[in-house]
Amino acid sequence: MYDFLIPIPILADNYCYILRTDKKAIIIDPGESQPVIDELEKLNLHLTAILCTHHHSDHVNGVETLKIRYNAKVYGPKDNRIPLLDIGLDKYSTLTLEGFPFKIIETPGHTKSHIVFLEENHHILFSGDTLFGAGCGRLFEGSYEEMYSSLHKLSLLNPDTYVYFGHEYTLKNLEFAHQLFPGDAAIKSRLNKTIQLRKKHQFTIPSTLNMELKTNPFLRVHEPSIQKSLDMLNQKEVDVFAKLRQLRDKF
């Protein structure tokens, strides 16, 4: 997509991301260290910053090794569960690293302190475990109201925003959506394309916000067609969201 952005698949289905200049690099959500070190060494890059969306181990387990090896600064939500955190961030924070300007958006739901990073020059959203391809994160700490509000916040961003999420869940999310909404042509079309991508072991990143607005049921709980399929026509959107999330948890 962009030659300065390098996705690194790690663990079972996670992604972490390198943003690079000629000599320096930033890493987002390093759930393990060795694949990141291998990529940095291959490209002769020096890591200067580590960005964390939330504290879960599959997003931060590589932080300590990388910080010690490269003397990189650790940025993340104001949460003492982020290992070796140097600078805590919130919605009022301004952050520019190696020429990349980031807007910090607070997105509680998956965890209480979850944040996402919007790189503003190129309209790139690193959505962690808040927004996935055709899905959203499970609620481990937050409420349905918080997650619904967080997703609504993201839905108002520029529709051309590229979305780089924390896990490769797109196929299963689309299988779930298609089962619930079999007559939805946009979901079916994306499912078919995703099946072909995954058969070739290709990534489903990046998505775009526009694609998510069309095919992600968690961003469409206001639509009568979605509400009707859930037998919740004219119900509160947050209640429709809660029902949808509960069904996905069991899928």
pLDDT digits (tens, 9 = 90+) for 23-36: 999 999 999 999 99
Active site residue 29: no
Residue 234 Cα to chain centre, angstroms: 30
One-letter amino acid for residue 101 of the chain:
P
Yes or no: say if 208 and 202 are a contact pair by the CB < 8 Å rule.
no
Encode pLDDT of 219-248 as tens digits: 999 999 999 999 999 999 999 999 999 999
* pTM higher than the cut 0.95: yes
Choose, from 29, 55, 114, 167, the residue flagged as catalytic.
167
Active site residue 201: no
5-250 folds as Metallo-beta-lactamase; Chain A (3.60.15)
Domain spans of the chain, in order of start: 5-250
Going by pLDDT thresholds of 50, 70 and 90, the confidence category of residue 15 is very high
In the block, tokens 């509960």 appear at: 246
Encode pLDDT of 16-70 as tens digits: 999 999 999 999 999 999 999 999 999 999 999 999 999 999 999 999 999 999 9
Encode pLDDT of 147-196 as tens digits: 999 999 999 999 999 999 999 999 999 999 999 999 999 999 999 999 99
Predicted confidence at residue 97, as pLDDT, reads 98
Choose, from 55, 56, 114, 178, the residue flagged as catalytic.
56
Yes or no: say if 49 and 79 are a contact pair by the CB < 8 Å rule.
no
